[in-house]
Amino acid sequence: MLHLGQWPPEVADVLSVSLPTVYEWFHRFRAEGAAGLDHHPKSGRPPTADESYIKALEETLETEPAELGYDFTLWTIERLNQHISKVTGKQVVDERVRTILKARDWVYRRPKEDLAAKQDKEHREWAEGFLDELKKGPATPATTSFSLWTK
Segment 46-65, tens digit of pLDDT: 888 888 999 999 999 888 88
Within 10 Å of residue 53's Cβ, how many Cβ atoms?
A: 21
**82-122 pLDDT tens trace:** 999 999 999 999 999 999 998 888 877 666 677 777 888 89
Q: Sorting pLDDT into bands at 50, 70 and 90, what band is 143?
A: low
Instruction: State the Cα–Cα distance between residues 5 and 3, nearest whole angstrom.
Output: 5
Instruction: State the Cα–Cα distance between residues 102 and 57, nearest whole angstrom.
Output: 13
Answer for the pair 119, 102: CB distance below 8 angstroms, yes or no. no
Instruction: State the Cα–Cα distance between residues 60 and 101, nearest whole angstrom.
Output: 12
For residues 20-25, give the mean pLDDT.
92
